[in-house]
Amino acid sequence: MSSVDDVLSGLDPEQRAVAEAVRGPVCVLAGAGTGKTRAITHRIAHAVRSGVVDAPSVLAVTFTTRAAGELRQRLRALGAPGVQARTFHAAALRQLTYFWPRVIGGEAPSVIESKLPVLSEACRRLRRGADRSELRDIASEVEWAKVTQIGPEDYAAAAAKYNRTPPVPAEELARLYDAYEQIRRERHLVDFETILELTAAVMTEHQEVAAQIRQQYRYFVVDEYQDVNPLQKLLLDTWLGGRDDVCVVGDPNQTIYSFTGATPRYLTGFAVEHPDAAVIKLVRDYRSTPQVVDLANLVIAKGRSPHRLELVAQRPDGPRPGFHEYDDEPAEAAGVARAIRKLLDQGVPSREIAVLFRTNSQSEAYEEALAKAELPYVVRGGERFFERPEVRQAVVLLRGAARSASDEPLASEVHHILAGLGLTPAPPGGGKAREKWESLRALADLAEDMAAEGADLHGFVAELERRASEQHAPPVEGVTLASLHAAKGLEWDAVFLVGLTDGMLPIVYAETPEQIEEERRLLYVGITRARQHLTLSWALSRAPGGRKGRRPSRFLDGLTGRASSSAAARPPGPARERRQVAAPVSCRICAKTLVAAAEQKLGRCATCPADYDEDLLESLKAWRTATAKEGKIPPYVVFTDVTLQAIAERVPRTEQELLSIPGVGRVKLDRYGEAVLSLCRSAS
């Protein structure tokens, strides 16, 4: 067990300042790779070991089950095993379940893991259809409303106020939201947002409950504070009950979840809320080379945020980040696969390489390229490790084997069981078979590691169950494919940031200055995932032979070492804000000047007759639905109904004809033009 001095040794001056600030309020502004988890765990351990607080009185709140598990593991090693480290939802659910029989009575409600089944029932009650993709978008919007404390009756007004773009008309979404809440209450269900809301309400309405919880927890630490939403802040304030023994940790540069209701204002305004707070900045970056850190600093410095942190690299020099332009997306994916092969040949493990992209729909090209090159890969953000069929089957067999006496060594027994599920000495070539093999190999490697520490099969199964509860998967050998959002909190030796074009990063539907800045921070998050090797790339067209009209992301202007076509295409300074007066649009049938936006898109008065191919319109709508589902975006983001109607009426045959239709800009022409024109040509 470590002494108090041992707990503080090995910390840099700023980390030590955090550890020694054992009384709140404390705000830690921690940049990427600066050792924030180390700082806050040593702070908690120092407070416990020096007698400032008892371990069971500490509640450390995180955003993921895995992060909570890591905190508990580190605190055990530092001699503070009794500290409670949980997610907001887990901590609240535990309290709500405990007090429910006493203050409300009866059986506690069941927790729903997904809103989709209940929303599907709400759609049926309102006699409307919705595919799974649209249901996911509706669920996201309901979650935003709930975490920002907006009820169904106020949703439409709030959506307009906050410039939301719901997947269905705001009034319709409000009705679905109301029906969802009615069904949830009828069936005695709670979702994650309701858990937080009810816990805060029970504490507010029942002072004896509040007193007991506040007697239990006196010392709070909140990680990733830039991602806290209003509902979580309400619960935290209710837990505190006017006390200020709280330490918050976060990075304003990594605020990338504003669309879910998260807001950095609680972090950036902490010193205003608590004027006597200690504010400590961690800027020494131990993760990345100076070359990677310099690029990250340059990208974030070009933004508008007044709260950015400038990192200071602590590692030795490494290779300069590479910038690569390709003719088309398949060429980009093949180029990345070749570069990955070179890194593997140089000894970089495949699990230390990642390909990161803006949307999940971009994954397919890289899965194909890596499979073709016979390179192992793992898609992050897809199926969780412990939910994969082969892993679940392996755990069942291992659990059964542990119940029967056996003198066989752990590693041998596990290998024997996994061999029956498909673990072979040599891996298969690629694809799903390779993914399954890598999952089994990860279990075998973990068994070998634990066998070296003297564990038996019972201990191995117990470790698997612990990891499953904390979603702490063993490392799987393979290149990681992940979205930038899914990559937050992770790091690799080598990172490839791909598809960096205007319209993809920033994404095409990021329109306000705040949304554009969040896209910039998303690129910053991607850059800071790399320890040593970093490559940024983009393709000028979607498919081979396509029009090379794409431009590199505006966030790369001045950074690539080449003239920026995107910078040349956008006027500098105030000219970018200058509004242009559009020429009047006339009805192509009666020549009357059109005023309504929908009529201008159609190019005719709403009352003027127009012929169009109904089959073509249906084909366009079916294509849009499939494209939106693949890209995991609302269908209207691809094209609105009015734009599809205009396309069906005019039946464009060339790119220029398609581009002349309002609602079809350069970005959408490049992304969707070939598919739309193909449908139009087939119809004609």
| CA contacts within 13 A on the Cβ side of 43 | 34
Nearest CA to 461 out of 443, 479, 477, 445 is that of: 443
Rounded to whole angstroms, the Cα distance separating 521 from 275 reads 28
151 is in an annotated binding site: no
468 is in an annotated binding site: no
Q: Which residues contact 366 (CB under 8 A, 6 or more apart)?
A: 333, 336, 337, 355, 357, 377, 481, 498
Let me know: does 409 contact 459? Beta carbons within 8 Å: no
Q: Which residues contact 32 (CB under 8 A, 6 or more apart)?
A: 251, 253, 254, 285, 287, 288, 296, 311, 524, 525, 528
**Strand-pair partners of 357:** 483
Nearest CA to 316 out of 292, 295, 339 is that of: 292
Nearest CA to 438 out of 489, 484, 381, 394 is that of: 394
Burial class, 146, CB count within 10 angstroms (exposed 0-12 / middle 13-18 / buried 19+): buried
335 is in an annotated binding site: no
303 is in an annotated binding site: no
Rounded to whole angstroms, the Cα distance separating 67 from 622 reads 41
| Parallel/antiparallel/unpaired status of strands 284-285 and 353-357 | unpaired
593 is in an annotated binding site: no
347 is in an annotated binding site: no
User: What 3-state DSSP class applies to 322?
Assistant: strand
36 is in an annotated binding site: yes
Q: What are residue 201's phi and psi, to 5 degrees?
A: -65, -45
Q: Which helix (H) or strand (E) holds 175?
A: helix 170-186
Nearest CA to 484 out of 503, 465, 505 is that of: 505
33 is in an annotated binding site: yes
Residues annotated as binding site?
Answer: 30-37
State the binding site for ATP: 30-37
